[in-house]
Amino acid sequence: MTALALARKWRPKTFTELVGQDHVVKALTHALDQGRLHHAWLFTGTRGVGKTTIARIMAKALNCTGADGKGQMTSQPCGKCQACTEIDAGRFVDYIEMDAASNRGVDEMVSLLEKAAYAPSSARYKVYMIDEVHMLTAHAFNSMLKTLEEPPPHVKFILATTDPQKIPVTVLSRCLQFNLKQMPVPLIVEHLQAVLQSESIASEPNALRVIAKAAQGSMRDALSLTDQAIAYAAGPVTEAAVRTMLGTIDDAYLISILDALQQKDGKTLNDISEEMGLRSMSFSIALQDLASLLHKIATAQVVPNSVLDDWPEADEIRRLAKSLTPEETQLFYQIAITSRADLSLAPDEQAGFAMALLRMLAFKPGGSPAASGSGNGAGSKSVAPASKPSSSSNAASASKSTSTSNPSSAPAPATTNKTTTPSDSGPSLNSAITPDWHALVRALPMRGLVQQLAYQTELVEWRDTPEILFVTLTTAMSQLATDDALLRLGEALKAQYGKTVKVQIGEGKATHTVAKVDAQIYQEKKLTAEEELAQDPFLKELEREFGAKVVTGSVRPLN
């Protein structure tokens, strides 16, 4: 004998058995108990959340006669009378379920409405349940409007749809609309545990949690996946069996990926990608799970109490929330979610997944391992010793530096022969002769990331020795100060000054950057232009004769 599917066997038969739709149950039970019944209800929601189930329970509640055959309409159908048993069996003549996807024309709707005029055969109410009602044609919708608004007293309409946006507002206004919610993961896990316990089947909590996530809010999908897992495992439903069946990735892989990214270990990232390919894992689901894990980490960084102790990965999430910076977490999350769409464009999914990991590594704040190799010259990274701070400021030791060599004979820009004081540019400088950093940055031939870095810096120290020029900066955007950007900035300075240059980023944030000064100058020019335009005689004449007005914020300086 063929076993009945869990989704059918455990379909709720009363409102008390219904899971996760308390807001709908409360409204319907109150209406039944008080006898304040509408003539049409519309249930909306994604697949497997209980639309058809609620319709059947409503039909039983409207027509239940009790075990003795003398009962009245109730919110707690007995399940034993003729109406209840025949509706559960799908053979109650006065409960009509129609699939609008296959009966979507005006002729089918007219035939249904003609039959609605006749009294029920043996029931209290004739109940019409139209599933996927959004599939009806425009003419079919129009043909039912009058009957839906003023149906015979013995007729009730129940409409169900997964896409309410496609239903005309003329139909929506004639129905009471209930939006059924997606099932949360903990609720699905709790229900699956009760079902498997009743079925005498052992299971692991983490296995049910994986099934609940894969169901994406649908209880029917969760029960169907549980059926599949029982058959696949041929015994206790274990996490390993469920992950293999679904092709999902173990959290241990995801945590290893984040650890490798933190350590800039490209080899480990490549090895993980290769192993996942050998195990035929879904790389799209892997990116989805990685984004979900990063979401939990980002939330834990802001709200530490959001991590629940019953999560199997709770300790790892707390550890990664401390070791990863918020900027890194947000960057990895953004790359993970955008790379899922790129998988279809990649040579194959494994290559697309590997490139997503390498992209995270390349854009990781602090630079990629490609710029951290050992050696001397323009391609090496070195940490320059901190100079002794001046009496008016505490210049911190550098955390990043880059050096350039092979001096050229390029001329150096003019310098200003004055001592810079704190009132001139914020931090004090450790040399009596320093260049105008703002003018120098504007003159350097830079583009892209290195130009953005230079415009977000402020000069702290300019120490010129016979062999090496030491430049210490502070920046308002530390994420731009990658090793490669510092290297290219040093090369631009080397081309101007003709000697080895070491550019390093000191502690603290810049307050008088080139970008901020340029923004202030632009704002002053903009205000001046607005004032001059407001005094223009021709514009005043236009305002007086034609009622013209200058659009606020549209005035721009010419240069």
pLDDT reported for residue 2: 63
pLDDT at 366: 59
- pLDDT of 164 strictly over 50: yes
Residues comprising the chain, all counted: 559
Looking at residue 457, what is its pLDDT? Answer: 87
SS (H, E, C) 158-208: EEEECCHHHCCHHHHCCCEEEECCCCCHHHHHHHHHHHHHHCCCCECHHHH
Work out the mean pLDDT of the chain and round it to a whole number: 82
**Helix, strand, or coil here: 436?**
coil
In 35-95, alpha helices (H): 51-63, 82-89
Rounded to whole angstroms, the Cα distance separating 389 from 498 reads: 27
Q: How far apart are CA 129 and CA 157, in angstroms?
A: 6
Give residue 235's pLDDT. Answer: 84
Q: Per-residue pLDDT averaged across 308-315, rounded?
A: 80
Per cent of the chain over pLDDT 90 is 36
Question: Does residue 376 have a pLDDT over 60?
Answer: no
**Neighbouring residues of 368: CB distance < 8 A, sequence distance ≥ 6:** 264, 361, 362, 482, 484
pLDDT at site 127: 94
pLDDT tier at 393 (50, 70, 90 boundaries)? very low
Of the CA atoms within 13 Å of residue 154, those in its CB half-sphere come to 15
> pLDDT band for position 382 (50/70/90)?
very low
Q: What are the angstrom distances between the C-alpha of 481 and each of 122, 215, 230, 381?
A: 80, 44, 54, 13
Give tens-digit pLDDT for 464-516: 888 888 888 888 887 777 888 888 888 888 888 888 888 888 877 777 788 88
Give the per-residue pLDDT at 356: 93
Summarize the confidence of residues 517-526 as an average pLDDT.
81
What pLDDT is recorded for position 315?
87
Q: Which residues pair with 505 in a beta bridge?
A: 400, 473
Q: 398, 366, 401: which is closest to 381 by C-alpha?
A: 401
What are the residues facing 176 on neighbouring strands?
41
Looking at per-residue pLDDT, the higher value among 309 and 322 belongs to 322
pLDDT of the residue at 559: 63
- Counting DSSP H helices and E strands in the chain, the numbers are 23, 9
List, for residues 179-230, the tens digit of each pLDDT value. 999 999 889 999 999 999 999 999 998 899 989 988 888 999 999 999 999 9
Mean pLDDT (whole number) for 166-182: 92
Q: Which two tokens stand for residue 248?
A: 């999902």
Average pLDDT over every residue of 86-96:
91
Alpha helices in 456-535 (DSSP H): 483-497, 514-534
Mean of the pLDDT values across residues 531-541?
81
pLDDT digits (tens, 9 = 90+) for 239-254: 888 988 887 777 888 9
pLDDT in tens, 251-295: 888 999 999 998 888 999 999 999 888 887 888 988 988 999 999
Interatomic CA distance for residues 181 and 24, integer angstroms = 10
316-364 residue pLDDT tens: 899 999 999 998 999 999 999 999 988 888 899 999 999 999 999 888 7
Identify the band that residue 44 occupies on the pLDDT scale cut at 50, 70 and 90.
very high
- Average of pLDDT values for 311-318? 85
Sheet with 40-44, edge to edge strand ranges: 95-99, 126-131, 155-161, 40-44, 176-179
Q: Which residues contact 400 (CB under 8 A, 6 or more apart)?
A: 381, 383, 481, 483, 486, 504, 505
Q: Which of 24, 29, 26 is nearest to 42 (CA)?
A: 24
Global pTM value: 0.59
Of all residues in the chain, the percent with pLDDT exceeding 70 is 87
Taking phi first (over 0 means left), then psi (-120 to 50 degrees means alpha), and beta for anything else, what does residue 178 get? beta
